[in-house]
Amino acid sequence: MARRVLSVASECVPLLKTGGLADVVGALPGALAGQGWTMRVLMPAYPGLAAKLKGARKVWAQKDLFGGPGRVLAGRAGGLEMLLLDAPHLYDRAGGPYGDAAGDYPDNPERFAALSWAAARIAAEGMADGWRPEIVHCHDWQAGFAPAYMRFAGTRGVGTVMSVHNIAFQGTAPADRLDTLRLPEAAFTRELLEYWGGLSSLKAGLVTADAITTVSPTYAAELMRPEFGMGLDGVIRARAGDLHGILNGIDTMVWNPETDPAIHPYNARAPAGKRRNRAALLDEFGLGEVPGPLAVVISRLTEQKGLDLLPDLLDEFTWRGGGLIVLGTGEARIEMALRHRADENPGRIAVRIGYDEALAHRLFAGGDAVLVPSRFEPCGLTQMYGLRYGTVPLVAATGGLNDTVIDANPAALDAGAATGVVFAPTDALALGQGLRRLVALHGDGPAWRRMRRNGMTARLDWTRSSRAYADLYESRAP
């Protein structure tokens, strides 16, 4: 008989996506189905989502859910068993899931404490249809209070797993919200809830969950160091024995150059279609001849992603024959710097501010290389999409980038194992040298084709990771 997991998150594909978290939460149920675990995903019922549920039925309710009534609706969406927390006073907002043009919603601590509270009560009581989880899997700060509520209520018979997708977001709140958030005053100690004089829902989850995971082995090791732990490195070190780095996978059905409806199809054995996609991409963006590697950037344009380093390196890159197409949005100064470079070199550089999923597929299909020079990257999916599409990644040696890309050093090239270019540290000097190496490798036809083929045939799906999660659940379930 299949065992039961409640996955708790603020977003999930196909209902809502603002970043990679949604992709992972949406992929896990299918990945775990073959491992003997069934998973229901609990997330807020943001505007319009309840209407997308098929067979919606009420399975849990509470009259006072942090300022108003709330109920959980169960149904199916996109092949997933979904649970939507319907609480209009918390989630019926015209802006985004976390804020609007004025910034983050000031009641975000209560909004996502309610999500955690509902998860904890479902774990303790079950739902109206008789379903009760054996594991509650909490994702990022928005679900961080769930293990704490379960611990303080003495809930038995249900294990808890806390996953850190990005430790930069910690769900902080002032200490005077302790009572409002239904947390015991006795737990406001350094060992439990207190965090630099206030509260952090992420810390609450880290100290009370039975196990902690993060999304790559390297990121798990990095989190125990002050330069990556962002104030929580001591908490992570204290729980090192319960920390597991499990690499994300990608949906290889959605990201498949052989069947992708947005592109001219191709595969590792017959890659000719990639040349057609490259030509179409150059035409779409009005670029001229690019004799060197056509690089693409598909990213948030932020310092975390290392993209502030790129503009000053583009003159040399284009002089050496390279071209660049950027798709993304982010910090105004980085957007402006990249646009300035495009204006100066319209035949080699193009910038599209915004995001377009179909265009992202075309960029992966038509690009020769994808640039991911992040200062930190918990896992990263972009470089894996690049590998899948034969678009050679150039990445910084951090987090999941380091775990998924094999650097084209002499040994790896001799062994025929290289899949990309890895550079360190994340500064302009090292990135500039990485771009020079990329140009040189592109000029070596046999080496480039071998790297491209290696990437396209790499194991990037969820098989290995789903086994790791299943084993972890088994170790923490009653």
What is the dihedral sign for C-alpha 169, 170, 174, 178? Answer: positive
Q: What is the largest CA-CA distance in the chain?
A: 68
Could you give the angle at the alpha carbon of 438 between the alpha carbons of 434 and 440, nearest 5°?
A: 115
Per-residue pLDDT tens for 190-242? 999 999 999 999 999 999 999 999 999 999 999 999 999 999 999 999 999 99
**Strand segments (E) across 45-158:** 54-62, 70-77, 80-86, 99-100, 103-104, 135-139
Tokens 């000053």 found at: 312
Give the CB-side neighbour count of residue 289, counting CA atoms within 13 A: 2
Region 348-366 average pLDDT: 96
Region 88-107 average pLDDT: 95
Tokens 């994702």 found at: 139
Weakest mean pLDDT among 9-23, 110-124, 311-325, 391-405: 9-23
How many Å apart are CA 140 and CA 136, to the nearest integer? 13
Strand bridging mode 135-139 / 103-104: unpaired
In total, the chain counts a number of residues equal to 478
Given a cut of 90, is residue 88 above it in pLDDT? yes
- Quickly state the pLDDT bin for 34 (edges 50, 70, 90): confident
Contacts of 445 (CB under 8 A, 6+ apart): none
- Quickly state the pLDDT bin for 71 (edges 50, 70, 90): very high
Per-residue pLDDT tens for 395-421? 999 999 999 999 999 999 999 999 999
Given a cut of 90, is residue 1 above it in pLDDT? no
The DSSP H or E segment spanning 301 is strand 294-301
Tokens 């902080």 found at: 172
Region 164-184 average pLDDT: 96
- Quickly state the pLDDT bin for 19 (edges 50, 70, 90): confident
How many Å apart are CA 365 and CA 359, to the nearest integer? 10
pLDDT at 276: 97
- Quickly state the pLDDT bin for 20 (edges 50, 70, 90): confident
DSSP H stretches of helix in 209-348? 217-222, 226-229, 233-238, 272-284, 314-319, 332-344
Given a cut of 90, is residue 478 above it in pLDDT? no
Per-residue pLDDT tens for 416-472? 999 999 999 999 999 999 999 999 999 999 999 999 999 999 999 999 999 999 999
pLDDT at 43: 98
Gap between the terminal Cα atoms of the chain = 15
pLDDT at 89: 98
What is the dihedral sign for C-alpha 218, 223, 226, 229? Answer: positive
How many Å apart are CA 149 and CA 10, to the nearest integer? 18
How many Å apart are CA 478 and CA 362, to the nearest integer? 47
Sheet (strand 37-44) strand order: 54-62, 70-77, 80-86, 37-44, 3-8, 135-139, 159-164, 211-214, 243-245
Contact 298, 364 (CB under 8 A): yes
Give the CB-side neighbour count of residue 348, counting CA atoms within 13 A: 18
Given a cut of 80, is residue 144 above it in pLDDT? yes
Contact 454, 416 (CB under 8 A): yes
Please name every residue paired with 72 in a beta bridge, in sequence order, or none if there are none: 60, 85
pTM: 0.93
Helix, strand, or coil (residue 15): coil
The DSSP H or E segment spanning 430 is helix 428-442
